[in-house]
Amino acid sequence: MAGRPKSYDDAQVLSQAMRTFWKQGYEATSYSDLEKSTGLGRQSLYGAFGDKKCLFVAALKHYGQNVTQLSLEILNQDGSPISNVGRWLRRLVERAARLKIGCLLTNTAIEAGTHDADVQQVVQQELACVEQALQRTLRRAVACGELSPQTNVSEVATYFFGVAQGLMVMGRMGQSRIRLTRFANVALATLQPAAN
């Protein structure tokens, strides 16, 4: 038997909470902030998501399934694998330059540091998905001759993983789209020599 129905949409609330954590960070976000951004009272927040940390990891996973998912889709597209990587990086640049708040996973990795193991594990897991997709894409590139057969795929995937992290930091610093674009261009040039 069901009681009083919820007056909100879980996904929308989670999306707003995510955005607030994203902009302000975990520690700097209070329940008053969350009340304002979601429009819910805190008892509703507690009832639906548990305490602050639970709500945060829910927001983290929401981020993974909405924002990070787009990266995977781009990387997994059919067609030229290295142009997929290019589109992926350029999209990252575009978003980073526009939003100026970096990536929630990157920000969390830094804020949680070595302290909060639970949170850190969620972050690692989400980011690992991206790197694995990157690996598959690079492997396809080798298979279809876009990259040299001697390419160390996992090494290059790790490389682009790091490049993406650097991009997000620069984005959060509020650096110009031009600088981000330059960074991405030089990074992408790493893949070109083998294509000649």
Partner DNA sequence: ACTATTATTGAACCGTCATTCCGTAATCGC
Partner DNA sequence: GCGATTACGGAATGACGGTTCAATAATAGT
**Binding of residue 42 to DNA (CB under 7 A):** yes
From the list 30, 65, 124, 125, which residue makes contact with a copy of itself (rule: CB under 8 A)?
A: 124
**Binding of residue 10 to DNA (CB under 7 A):** no
Q: Closest approach of Cβ 41 to DNA, in Å?
A: 4
- Counting residues that bind DNA (by CB under 7 A) gives 23
From the list 15, 24, 44, 175, which residue makes contact with DNA (rule: CB under 7 A)?
A: 44
From the list 14, 17, 20, 29, which residue makes contact with DNA (rule: CB under 7 A)?
A: 29
Span near DNA by CB under 7 A; candidates 3-11, 72-80, 130-138, 185-193: 3-11
Residue 135's identity, in one-letter code, is: Q
From the list 11, 12, 36, 41, which residue makes contact with DNA (rule: CB under 7 A)?
A: 41
**Binding of residue 28 to a copy of itself (CB under 8 A):** yes
135 interacts with, out of a copy of itself, DNA, none, CB within 5 to 8 A per kind: none
**Nearest-angstrom CA–CA distance, 174 and 65:** 25
Q: Which of these, 140, 129, 134, 173, lies nearest to 155 by C-alpha position?
A: 134
128 interacts with, out of a copy of itself, DNA, none, CB within 5 to 8 A per kind: none
**Nearest-angstrom CA–CA distance, 194 and 135:** 17
From the list 20, 21, 38, 52, which residue makes contact with DNA (rule: CB under 7 A)?
A: 52
Using alpha carbons only, give the angle 64, 173, 184 rounded to the nearest 5 degrees. 70
Q: Closest approach of Cβ 48 to DNA, in Å?
A: 6
